[in-house]
Chains A and B, each alone.
Chain A
Amino acid sequence: MILVAKIVMGMAGVGLAGAGVLCSEGLVCVKVIEKRPQGHHLSVIAPAIVAPIAVHLAPQRDLAQAAREIGPYLPVIRAALIGLRDTGDAAFVEVREPNERVRVSKSGGSVVVDVDDAGEMVRVSAPIRAILSTVDELSAATPNRF
């Protein structure tokens, strides 16, 4: 009986540790609400660590094109992300038009993009740390590293 309890405890520990590792970079959240009768309400939450791992494991030849195109901008993107990481929570960009509102902000270590128009409401939230890790992976995959 004690042995079974130890095994269950061990498995629970492994499960908790796994969940901890998965959530170590935070969570990416995507929420889409269609503004029409019987419109879809979509909500996706995924561990952000998946993004840098996916870039790391992606075949080099498939990444090469993307890496080549984004390569020249990586230093600026990286500097912007570091600046963003080190700054306080704020709304950085807000665009308001009669039927549309777009807001890019930082909230609790994540970049949050809100788009609210006549057709739908979209919210995407991604941890800056995970974006930075993904950019670093992309940078490592770039043929002439910047």
Chain B
Amino acid sequence: MLGLLAAGMMALVTPTMAGPAEKYLHVNVEDPAKGQKVNVNVTLAMAQKILPAINNHDLHDGKISLHNAGTNGVDVRALLDAVRSAPDNEFLTIRDKDSDVRVVKANGNVIVHVIDKQNKDQRVEVTIPLKIVDALLATAKNDELDLAAALRALSDAGDILLVTVEGSSQKVRVWVDSRNTQE
């Protein structure tokens, strides 16, 4: 009798126990001066399905090859690996008449701040969770980054603001959350 009751309770509860919420990658571009607004909402699951289908130039099977990426001899993979394994710190500060650049590792994220002084003090901030860096490097060969794995890792990460660009007129934001709208 008790078993029957428990089974009945499970039957009632099961439909309400939804799986993990679908994650959306949102892009928002606003130009209030021109009255323009662009919103893009793509599920990460959809992006994961599309990415391996794109085989073009340096992108194959969800992996991007770095040998033609114009990295000027910089070993991007080694650089990311070094940042990943280092303690929290401000790694790089460049200040000149054209721009200020800072690269910081803090709270499990790599944060890049750029102020473009020539472009009306346009501010760019990019946040990359270290989990994403790990995924980019984990299964890829030496001269590759695994974008498909990074997308999978992004699905498992929490809500995060990835990119903000604030110029004199335009604002751009890229973030991930579980909502299917930007309202």
Chain A residues with CB under 8 Å of chain B are 75-76, 78-80, 82-84, 86-98
Contacts and interface: CB of A to CB of B under 8 A. Distances in A.
Contacts of B37: 94-96
A93 B53 contact: no
A96 B38 CA distance: 6
Interface residues of B, number: 24
Consensus secondary structure, chain A interface: mixed
Contacts, number: 67
Given A75-B53, A76-B50, A83 B43 contact: yes
A79 B52 CA distance: 9
A138 to B, nearest CB: 15
Contact of A90 (B36, B47, B54, B180): B180
A79 B39 contact: no
Contacts of B52: 79
B42 interface: yes
Interface in B22-53: 22, 24, 34-43, 45-50, 52-53
Contacts of A82: 49
B42 A92 contact: yes
B46 A80 contact: yes
Given A80-B49, A90-B180, 11 more contacts: A75-B53, A76-B54, A79-B53, A86-B45, A87-B45, A90-B43, A91-B41, A92-B40, A93-B38, A93-B40, A97-B36
